[in-house]
Structure 1
Amino acid sequence: MTSNEAAHSPLYLSLLAETAQIGWPELERFFARGILLHVARDLDLVSVAEAIASDDTTQVTQWLASGLLERIQAETAADFAARDPELWAVVVSPWVCVQERG
């Protein structure tokens, strides 16, 4: 275990292990259900998932208010469908958090 991993909670490490690269076609059904959250590149995807799982309402509300976290909009979905970028996702039921990398 690296010193950086030691600083993370068991929940963070569990979510990190569940985070995976995924293509837009596999995410479209979650978008259609309205449960796909877009995480800005500025944020750590796993930290966002941890905040949601821990019900950290204050932090999640700040991200939502600043636009760093939002439900994927139709324009973003169309862009992802057209470009098929490198996406990473983690499930925090009922939500699926997704972030573009690269």
Structure 2
Amino acid sequence: MNDEERTLRARLNAETGKLEWPEVERHFARGAVVKVSASLDLVEVAARMAGDDVAAIRGWMEAGTLCRASDDDARIWGARRPLFWAVVAAPWLLVQEIEYSDAP
């Protein structure tokens, strides 16, 4: 990994944060939410997307560990109100569920 890649990962790591469903929902409405499996490192995925690493992205998509959020996902998230780790890899918002909330 070169200095530019390390800098990108450090920046993306600093930009990650926890979001609740209502904050994610706005991005879902514009079709910009990508689900990242808990088996993947969120920052690594964001870095690969920012670097346009087509091979890695395709591999994750084929494995089912990376995909655009679906209407079914939105219905489930709306009912369960999970908390997410999230980071932007423009134009996408990458999310990983981290816990459930009992919020109404």
- Structure 1 length as normaliser, TM-score? 0.89
**Secondary structure at the counterpart of residue 67 of structure 2:** strand
**Secondary structure at the counterpart of residue 18 of structure 2:** strand
Structure 2 equivalent of residue 66 of structure 1:
63
Structure 1 equivalent of residue 29 of structure 2:
32
Candidates 14, 18, 31, aligned match of 1:17: 14
Structure 1 equivalent of residue 102 of structure 2:
none
Residue identity matched to 1:33: R
Identity of aligned residues (%): 43
Q: How many residues align?
A: 95
Candidates 69, 82, 85, aligned match of 2:82: 85
Structure 1 equivalent of residue 91 of structure 2:
94
> What is the deviation of 1:66?
1.1
Residue identity matched to 2:78: A
> What is the deviation of 1:84?
1.1
Which portions of structure 1, spanning 4 or more consecutive aligned residues, are displaced by more than 3 angstroms? none
CA distance in 1, matches of 2:82, 2:30: 21
> What is the deviation of 1:33?
0.9
CA distance in 2, matches of 1:57, 1:38: 17
**Secondary structure at the counterpart of residue 9 of structure 1:** helix
> What is the deviation of 1:62?
0.4
Runs (5+) with no aligned partner, structure 2? 100-104
